[in-house]
Amino acid sequence: MADFRLPNLNRVYLIGRITRDPEVKQLKSGLSVCNARMAVNQPYRDSNGDWQQEETFVTVVAWRRWADLCGEFLQKGSPLLVEGRLRSRSWEGQDGQTRHVLEVQALRIQFLDKSGASVKEDELETVEEEG
């Protein structure tokens, strides 16, 4: 049983809305990176049979051309579909405490409103995380 190996799979698909305007930065290397906070809703029925919404908030990180396009087309409330992979990272805060975050590294993004309709998929390539 020790020789059994699980396949590696790390892929997520999310549809939701941006909760605040995305932050686009240029790194010293010249690469663009965008951080966007996304809300994903899950409707469910409570014990009384009434519909409720469970919200999950996720940070999406996009690189290169995707980062530039997110900065150009996304704003608070924009709907989008993200295909990506989960990434965990940690750092030491100013108070000396170790901080941890789980975020989605975007591989593909589809803008779901009309403002992003002009982005053509063939102009973009799937990008892997930098750094």
pTM, to two decimals: 0.77
Greater model confidence, 34 or 113: 34
| Domain presence at residue 77 | yes
| Domain presence at residue 2 | no
| Domain presence at residue 107 | yes
| Domain presence at residue 43 | yes
Tokens 């989605």 belong to residue: 104
Q: What is the CATH number of the domain that holds 75?
A: 2.40.50.140
**Three-state DSSP state, 78:** coil
How far from chain centre, in Å, is Cα 99? 19
Range of the domain at 78: 12-114
CB 76 within 8 A of CB 21: yes
Q: Count how many domains the chain has.
A: 1
What's the confidence (pLDDT) of residue 116? 56
| Domain presence at residue 110 | yes
Greater model confidence, 98 or 118: 98
